[in-house]
Amino acid sequence: MLLKWTPLMELGINEIDAQHRFLFELLNCVHEASDQGDPERTKQLLEELGKHTEIHFGHEEDLMADCNYAGAEAHRQEHRKLFLQVADYIDELNAGRLVASSVALFMQRWMLHHMATADRELCAMLSHREARVLGR
């Protein structure tokens, strides 16, 4: 299922929003490649998605560490759980028991939920902190 990015998904921290948006674009590309029956391209895009998801999680985790965020450990655990779950799905995919679009759909749903909860909380704290630093 292709998912269009909307401003409602923005959390107010530009770099995080840009990274989320890019991950959604990659997820849409996985769907398209999978629908077009192009396994090589699909595999390549899933690898790219994994790489960029890792970079993005690392970025959020660095931000949390920089400001001693109280919810950092729980948030990090959510990231780790996603990686473990996706690794299982990739094994299923490689064994031919799953299609790539199912992996992409799972990740879309996970992202939407994670963005609306853990990431929203993190970004609210970062926005608040930024406003304090700028004396707003």
Residue closer to Fe ion (CB basis): 17 or 119: 119
Which residues ranging from 56 to 85 are in contact with Fe ion (CB under 5 A)?
A: 60
17 vs 60, which CB is nearer to Fe ion?
60
CA atoms within 13 A on the CB side of 47: 7
Among 15-23, 28-36, 53-61, 127-135, which window interacts with Fe ion (CB under 5 A)? Answer: 53-61
Q: What is the token pair recorded at 65?
A: 């560490």
Phi, psi of 70 (to 5 degrees): -65, -35
CB nearer to Fe ion: pick between 38 and 78: 78
Residue 122 contacts residue 71 (beta carbons within 8 Å): yes
Considering only residues 13, 34, 119, 123, which one is a binding residue for Fe ion as defined by CB under 5 A? Answer: 119
Give min distance, CB of 123 to Fe ion, in A.
9
Closest CA to 13 of 71, 68, 77, 62: 62
Binding site for Fe ion (CB under 5 A): 60, 119
